[in-house]
Amino acid sequence: MPTNAPAALSDVTASDGALRRFLHGLPGVDAVGLEARAASLGTRSIKTSAKAYAIDLAISMIDLTTLEGADTPGKVRALAAKAVNPDPTDRTTPHTAAVCVYPDMVATAKAALNGADVKVASVATAFPAGRAALDVKLADTRDAVAAGADEIDMVIDRGAFLAGKYLKVYEEILAVKEASGSARLKVIFETGELSTYDNIRRASWLGMLAGADFIKTSTGKVAVNATPANTLLMLEAVRDFREQTGVQVGVKPAGGIRTSKDAIKFLVLVNETAGADWLDSHWFRFGASSLLNDLLMQRQKLATGRYSGPDYVTVD
């Protein structure tokens, strides 16, 4: 049996039964308590210098995303230009972490970025539903990597997970990880479909055991995407995983984070749960598109003392 699990935990992926026993042996999650903790951290008041720091950090953590059937090369080029230079009126604005596109747009994005220090992330594995045969998913992944993707955002097979076939999900992640080569792998759980916090904790450990570089909440294509509570839970998982194995894994909430206020709340969750080691675009990302303009407007407000308005940031 191939494994990416760190030595300390290599035996838990030895069989379907062992994996199930391990995942079901993780501490349960009390939903009321988890949500109360997330809400309580949401009341932190982040002002002045702390706000300026948080806004710049949040911008630098964005995977600027377009995942539409209507995506065109023109749209992707505009997105790439914005990722490199988010605010044309203020060149001190940090660039985003990455642009995130479908596999067929990777080459366009790569060319548009023209060597800038912005990664190209590609969704793959029959995103967003993941309903395809494994070899189709692997071909999708290889295609994206061959076109120059630096990062692969895969989706797990939620059907298999909910049916309790954890080893199938695990092996699929292993296979995609291998197909991704040197690209960093983000594993999307679609937490809105896993539905319970216990499932989200189990999926987080399953993904990390299989070698995920990032665990990611959602595709942005279902009703419930990233929430403070599910992200807090995943931050606890990466914190505990590093404690047990020494391996650090990133977290990416995606979908539904639209305002600076929301983004700052997520950064507070990172700071007070996983800790300062994760306050870096290498370890924490926002999957978002409209969030960036709100951050830019808040940034301008902090610099000038005035709100500018939507005509003073670029549409894309």
- What residues are annotated to the active site? 153, 216, 252
Q: Hunting for tokens 């909430």 — which residue is that?
A: 253
* Separation of alpha carbons 62 and 127, rounded Å: 20
Closest to other proteins by CB, 102 or 283: 283
Residue 168 beta carbon to other proteins: minimum distance, rounded to whole angstroms: 27
Q: Any contact of residue 92 with other proteins (CB under 8 A)?
A: no
Query: Of the candidates 7, 43, 70, 306, which one interacts with other proteins according to CB under 8 A?
Result: 43
Size of the site for other proteins (CB under 8 A): 32
Query: Of the candidates 14, 18, 50, 132, which one interacts with other proteins according to CB under 8 A?
Result: 50
Task: Please name the helix (run of DSSP H) or strand (run of DSSP E) that holds residue 51, with its range, or none.
Answer: helix 48-60
Q: Any contact of residue 267 with other proteins (CB under 8 A)?
A: yes
Q: Any contact of residue 109 with other proteins (CB under 8 A)?
A: no
Closest to other proteins by CB, 43 or 315: 43
Residue 85 beta carbon to other proteins: minimum distance, rounded to whole angstroms: 22
Q: Which residues contact 88 (CB under 8 A, 6 or more apart)?
A: 314
Beta strand 250-252 pairing with 214-216: parallel
Angle between helix 291-304 and helix 48-60 axes, rounded to 10 deg:
150
Beta strand 184-188 pairing with 214-216: parallel
C-alpha count within 13 angstroms, C-beta hemisphere, residue 63: 31
Please give the structure tokens belonging to residue 130. Answer: 């993941």
Query: Of the candidates 133, 223, 276, 315, which one interacts with other proteins according to CB under 8 A?
Result: 276
Q: Any contact of residue 278 with other proteins (CB under 8 A)?
A: yes
Interface mask (CB under 8 A) for other proteins, residues 213-242, using x and -? -----------------------x------
Do residues 245 and 216 make contact, with C-beta atoms less than 8 angstroms apart?
Answer: no
Question: Residue 170 carries which side chain, given as an amino acid letter?
Answer: Y
Query: Of the candidates 129, 168, 277, 312, which one interacts with other proteins according to CB under 8 A?
Result: 277
Q: Any contact of residue 246 with other proteins (CB under 8 A)?
A: no
Residue 50 beta carbon to other proteins: minimum distance, rounded to whole angstroms: 4
Residue 28 beta carbon to other proteins: minimum distance, rounded to whole angstroms: 4
Residue 213 beta carbon to other proteins: minimum distance, rounded to whole angstroms: 17
Q: Any contact of residue 133 with other proteins (CB under 8 A)?
A: no
Interface mask (CB under 8 A) for other proteins, residues 282-301, using x and -? -x------------------
Let me know how many helices (H) and strands (E) the chain has, helices first: 13, 8
Ramachandran angles phi, psi of 149, nearest 5°: -65, 135
Q: Any contact of residue 139 with other proteins (CB under 8 A)?
A: no
Query: Of the candidates 5, 19, 34, 257, which one interacts with other proteins according to CB under 8 A?
Result: 34
Determine whether 94 is exposed, middle or buried from the number of CB atoms within 10 Å of its CB (0-12, 13-18, 19+).
middle
Going by the DSSP 8-state scheme, the letter that residue 312 receives in this structure is G
Phi/psi-derived region of residue 190, left when phi > 0, alpha when psi is between -120 and 50, beta in every other case: left
Query: Of the candidates 45, 69, 135, 315, which one interacts with other proteins according to CB under 8 A?
Result: 45
> 3-state class of 232 per DSSP?
helix
Candidates 124, 171, 138, 156; CA nearest to 15 is 171
Q: Any contact of residue 247 with other proteins (CB under 8 A)?
A: no
Q: Any contact of residue 143 with other proteins (CB under 8 A)?
A: no
Instruction: Give the residues lining the site for other proteins (CB under 8 A).
Output: 27-30, 32-34, 36-37, 43-51, 53-54, 57, 236, 267-268, 271-272, 276-280, 283
